[in-house]
Amino acid sequence: MPKIFFHKHLLTTILLVLGLFMSHNSWSQAYRISDNPEVKKKPLVVKTVANSQDTAAAPVAEEPKKVPEIKNLKIISEIDDGKGNFVRTVQYNKGSMRVTETIIKPKSLIAPLSLKVPINPDTMDKRQVQLVVDKTAYMLKVFYRKRAIRAYKVTFGPQPKQDKCMEGDRCTPEGSFTITNLNPKSMYNKFMLFSYPNEASWAKFNELKRNGKIPASARIGGAVGIHGIWRGGDELIDLGVGWTDGCVALKNKDVDELFTLVGIGTKVIIKQ
């Protein structure tokens, strides 16, 4: 009996020491990994948006897809509709397609916008900034402390007055959003990502599915925001050509300035 007890005690001791060694080794490895400067430089960040209908979360894209540049732009006609609007028909090449598009814009926007209140972006309280995107007027206004300080011409997708229903419809979502990410080196100069889809977006999307207005297989989409345009493309903003996939596009000099006026959390209201 004493020998059996001794052997059991020795075995227990060996297992205890082995367990402590393995635990210490694992902790050391974990410490070395967390202290690795390369890991610190490249943290793994996954952003998700919860679906109010499904429990699964969908990854959020932070950049719009690349759109083929528009070439061989030609104005076919320009008329006054007698209702305060200027109706313009244009044609252009987009990839392998020849597109004809009719643009209806208020006549007041034919002239350059001149709202430019002197302000220092470095001393602004970005929490007091609000952007209002008017899809009918093709205009983005910047408000600071409830006072309009900037107005920019903008353009959208091919159906600017349509609210976004699902991925791929190339429409700009309407509602209240915030800026969630700022990319100073986007393929379209600079990019300010919206908090789309948010809870209200999901509710609208799910309602459309329940009513059979969009396919049951439809996805809600994402990567919607404000950006510039390729070099030499500013004329498309002036004309109001619907070239985006639902984002709000500005001239590059305007998006450069706007980028200095906003911050993460800036409120964005998009309306017809």
124, 261 Cβ separation under 8 angstroms: yes
pLDDT of 106 reads 83
Give dist(CA 189, CA 27) in Å, integer. Answer: 45
User: Is 271 a residue whose pLDDT tops 70?
Assistant: yes
pLDDT grade, residue 107 (50/70/90)? confident
pLDDT score of 44: 28
Residue 166: φ, ψ to 5°: -160, 170
Q: What is the spatial distance between Cα 93 and Cα 89, in angstroms, rounded to a whole number? A: 14
More confident residue, 23 or 179: 179
Burial 194-228 (b: 16+ CB within 10 A, else e): bbbbbeebbebbeebbeeeebeeebebbbbbbbbb
Amino acid at position 23, single letter: S
pLDDT at 110: 56
Using the Cα atoms of residue 158, residue 162, residue 163 and residue 165 in order, give the sign of their dihedral: negative
Arithmetic mean of pLDDT over the chain: 82
Of the chain, the percentage scoring pLDDT greater than 70 comes to: 75
pLDDT of residue 206: 96
Q: Is the pLDDT of residue 52 over 50?
A: no
pLDDT of residue 213: 96
Tens of pLDDT, residue by residue over 251-260, are 999 999 999 9
* Predicted local distance difference test score (pLDDT) of residue 61: 55
pLDDT for residue 112 is more than 70: no
Tell me what pLDDT residue 246 has.
Answer: 95
Least confident of 3-17, 29-43, 217-231: 29-43
Task: Provide the edge-to-edge strand list for the sheet that holds 129-134.
Answer: 147-153, 139-144, 129-134, 267-271, 175-186, 189-194, 225-227, 248-249
Distance CA(270)–CA(36), nearest Å, equals 44
- The better pLDDT of the pair 193, 63 is held by 193
pTM: 0.76
Tens digits of per-residue pLDDT, 58-93?
Answer: 445 578 888 889 999 999 999 998 988 889 999 999
Question: DSSP per residue over 122-172, as a string?
Answer: GG--GGGEEEEEETTTTEEEEEETTEEEEEEE-B-SS-TTSPP-STTS-PP
Question: 203-250, pLDDT tens digit by residue?
Answer: 999 999 999 999 999 999 999 999 999 999 999 999 999 999 999 999
Confidence at 109, pLDDT banded by 50, 70, 90? low
Three-state SS at 239:
helix
Q: Does residue 36 have a pLDDT over 80? A: no
CA 39 to CA 167: how far, in whole Å?
Answer: 34
Instruction: Indicate the range of 10-24, 129-143, 173-187 predicted with least confidence.
Output: 10-24
